[in-house]
Amino acid sequence: MTKFKYRVEILALKEVHEIPGAWDDKQFRGLLTHLEYEGAEDIPEAELKEMASLALSDFEKEEAVEKVLEFRMGEKLNKGQRKNLGNEMQEDPLWIEYSDLSLHEELFHVGCMLYWTFPRNFPSPDIARLTIRLTAMSPEAMGNLKKLTASFLCRVLNSGMDESNIMNRLFDENLEANRFPEADHILWQFGTDDFDEKSRSVTVTVYTSWNWVEDLKGVNEFDATAWADGQLE
C-alpha cells in the first residue's frame, strides 16, 4: 500500500447549521405547493424561506414533520414511519441516531426546516464542515485526489483518529477491505478546488454529522494510507 500514502492538513473544522443549496428556491416552492399554498410561484425569492416556514407553522408539529418528510423523502418512509417520527424528531437529532444510515442526510435537511419553523420544539441542526488539504506522497497516489470518492475520504479521515472512533468501531472491516458502501452515507457532501499538479495537492470540504469526525478536534495534520473501493490488489 506504499503507493497510496498522503499527507493531511486540517484547515478548518467548524459547526454549521445547514448545507448550502439543500433548501433552495425550487425546494421552498415545492414545499409550499406540497402544503397546498396558493400562489407559490408568485412569491419573490427573498421571501420564500419565510413563507415556507409560515405555511408550515399552520400545521400541528407532528403533522408538520409528516408533511416535510413526505416532501423530502417520498416513498423512502411509509406512512407509519413518518407518523412515528412526528414525535421523535422533537426530541432527538435523528440525522445521527436513526437506524437507517442512508436516510441521515435527508433527515438533517428535514430537521433544518422544522427548526426554522418551530425553534423551541426541535433540536438545533448542527453538523460539521471539515476542510482539509490532501497531498499525495507519490505520483501513483495522485489519481485518488483527481477523482475523490467517499470511501477513499473515509479511510483518510479514519487514519487521523484513534481506533476507538465510531467509524472504526462500526466499520473496521470495511475500512480495511475493498468495498465500503456505507461511506456514501457517512460523508453527505464533499467538494474540492482544482487539483494542483505542482504540489500534488487538493483542498476538500466535507459536510457530515459530528459523530463521524469529532475525534479530529485538536488534530492539525497526520499521515494517511488510503484507497478507493476496488483498488486493493
pLDDT (tens digit per residue) in 180-233: 999 999 999 999 988 999 999 999 999 999 999 999 999 999 999 999 999 987
Euclidean distance between CA atoms 183 and 213, whole angstroms: 13
Looking at residue 2, its pLDDT comes to 64
pLDDT (tens digit per residue) in 143-161: 999 999 999 999 999 999 9
Q: Give the mean model confidence (pLDDT) for residues 44-63.
A: 96
Euclidean distance between CA atoms 179 and 137, whole angstroms: 23
Range with lowest mean pLDDT among 50-54, 61-65, 191-195: 191-195
In percent, the amount of the chain with pLDDT more than 90 equals 92
With cut-offs at 50, 70 and 90, classify the pLDDT of residue 62: very high
With cut-offs at 50, 70 and 90, classify the pLDDT of residue 1: low
First to last CA, the chain: 9
Per-domain residue ranges for the chain? 2-17+126-225, 25-117
Looking at residue 71, its pLDDT comes to 97
Euclidean distance between CA atoms 111 and 122, whole angstroms: 7
Looking at residue 232, its pLDDT comes to 83
Q: Is the pLDDT of residue 46 over 90?
A: yes
Q: Is 130 helix (H, G, I), strand (E, B) or coil?
A: strand
Sign of CA dihedral 213, 216, 218, 219: negative
Looking at residue 233, its pLDDT comes to 73
* H/E stretch holding 117: helix 104-117
Looking at residue 35, its pLDDT comes to 96
Q: Is the pLDDT of residue 98 over 70?
A: yes
With cut-offs at 50, 70 and 90, classify the pLDDT of residue 135: very high
Q: Give the mean model confidence (pLDDT) for residues 120-143.
A: 95
Alpha-carbon dihedral 29, 110, 55, 119, rounded to 10 degrees: -140
